[in-house]
Amino acid sequence: MAQTLLEGLRSMTKVVADTGDFEAILRFKPQDSTTNPSLITAAAQLPQYGHLVDDVLHQAKSDLGAKASDQDVANLAFQRLAVAFGQKILAEIPGRVSTEVDARLSFDTEATLKQARNIIDQYDKLGISRERVLVKIAATWEGIEAAKKLEQEGIHCNLTLVFGLHQAIACAEAKVTLISPFVGRILDWYKKNTKGDYHGAEDPGVISVTAIYNYFKKFGYSTVVMGASFRNISEIVELAGCDLLTISPKLLEELDSTQGELPRKLNPTLAKDLPIERIVMNREVFDKMHQADRMAHEKLTEGIEGFSAALVDLEKHLAKRLKELGAGLELAAK
């Protein structure tokens, strides 16, 4: 019987589900799962997860006390909601889940450290090993500095919103566990700014992740690469062999329903022999390369703003739900 592209991919790459939807996780049975504020916000508004949201809100309200404002309760609840979703996801997968630090803290190393430690503390209290959790942090210089300290404390990190080689190298030098370069968002930028049409190996996102993967393997970094943000299965096919790929349920379904041979495109052995020049990374080099790379500069800013906006939407949804719960309790008491 011919194999599907998903089966072929799994033979060489760890497949991760890019979703907060438990039904999708149960269906595709990924090794790991990753979420982001947009996915958590969408999942939190689905009826089937209403009880989970309500439980988190009740606990946050109880912990803060009767005098706490709905906004304060919502702010605490969203931090806990990501962990609650993470706990539920971990019950269905054998590997790890990524839980994200507030994107609004992306340029504040100390605040990122504080919230990352709080996330791990919550998982610790639930009896979940920190080996099963990746704290997700935006790959700003400040975020990378925070991740470096966290890794030294035994807290593993997923550095997200990676668009440039300079970000990737800084993460590897900081010995972070994993990075998430965003394939599709890079393609979006090039299509918008060049009006070009890119396919297969010519896709700028594919080229970027391939360069990062080869650099890491050439110089023996322990940091692994997880391609993310795919627009089509062609991008996934071109990155077969990457350490990990995080894929949406829609594209997982397409891979699972498509039969065919899937040749390996990325290979650590071949990367060792590539003529790649090593870059000595520090803050000055990072800033210089970041300013010179307009795509990376714009997409990192846009990504942080987008995740921050999703958190604001989630807080509004939680505050609204809190009011509804309060009104319901008042009616029940009459």
Report the alpha-carbon distance of residue 120 to residue 126 in Å, rounded.
10
Q: For tokens 């790459």, what's the residue?
A: 13
> What's the angle, vertex CA 225, arms to CA 180 and CA 158, rounded to 5?
45
Catalytic residue among 29, 61, 88, 136: 136
Report the alpha-carbon distance of residue 4 to residue 262 in Å, rounded.
9
Hey, CA dihedral for 213, 216, 222, 228, is it positive or negative? Answer: negative
Tokens representing residue 93 in the block: 């997968």
Burial class (CB in 10 A: 0-12, 13-18, 19+), 285: middle
The 10 Å Cβ neighbour count of residue 306 is: 17
Torsion, CA 179, CA 150, CA 171, CA 20, rounded to 10: 20
> What's the angle, vertex CA 136, arms to CA 146 and CA 296, rounded to 5?
80
Is the Cβ–Cβ distance between 160 and 299 less than 8 Å?
no
Query: Is position 136 annotated as part of the catalytic site?
Result: yes
End-to-end CA distance of the chain: 65
Report the alpha-carbon distance of residue 65 to residue 86 in Å, rounded.
26
Active-site positions read 136
